[in-house]
Amino acid sequence: MYLAEGSDWFWWFGNDQDSGDDSYFDYSFRSLLSEVYQSLGEPVPDFVQAPIVAPKVTAPSRPMAGLISPTIDGKETLPDEWTKAGLYQAGGGSMARAEDVMSMFYFGLDAKNLYVRVDAKGK
């Protein structure tokens, strides 16, 4: 219990702090609380399982540069239809070459619609 009461835990959870790995401190703190309940022979409450620190939002690989209105007709996309769309790329890690990217998630909108496009490729 004394480990969980240590003041350093609460220092890491402030909005003005960033440990560089807040999710680790969050998990570790909640694990200590779980062990306190278990050592007392009590069930671990559900709230102990819920993260305290919200996960960081991942920035897109390319933000939206303007409105788009692509033609959705089941055919190939035209070269300029998605150039202003935002883009998330996934796969291969930060050191990956462009040809190692496994999938791309495009997003954009116009005055009436939200558009989403997913390009996936296997190796």
Tens digit of pLDDT per residue, the chain (123 long)? 888 777 677 776 666 777 777 788 888 889 999 999 999 999 999 999 998 877 778 899 999 999 999 998 988 888 899 999 999 988 755 555 555 557 889 999 999 999 999 988 765
* Residue whose tokens read 């409105």: 67
* Residue-range definition of the domain harbouring residue 94: 58-123
32 and 71 in a common domain: no
Domain count, the chain: 2
Q: Give the bridge partners for 115, in sequence order.
A: 108
Q: Are 117 and 106 in contact (CB under 8 A)?
A: yes
Name the residue among 3, 1, 2 with its Cα closest to residue 40.
1
The answer to whether the pTM exceeds 0.85 is no
Please tell me the distance from the alpha carbon of residue 113 to that of residue 115, in angstroms, as a whole number.
6
Looking at the fold, whether 84 and 114 belong to one and the same domain comes out as yes
State whether 42 and 62 are in the same domain: no
Query: In the 8-state DSSP scheme, what is residue 122?
Result: -
Residues 71 and 116 in one domain: yes
- Please check whether residues 21 and 74 belong to one and the same domain: no
Shared-domain flag, residues 39 and 68 = no
Find, among 77, 103, 79, the residue nearest to 89 by Cα.
Answer: 103
**76/105 same-domain check:** yes
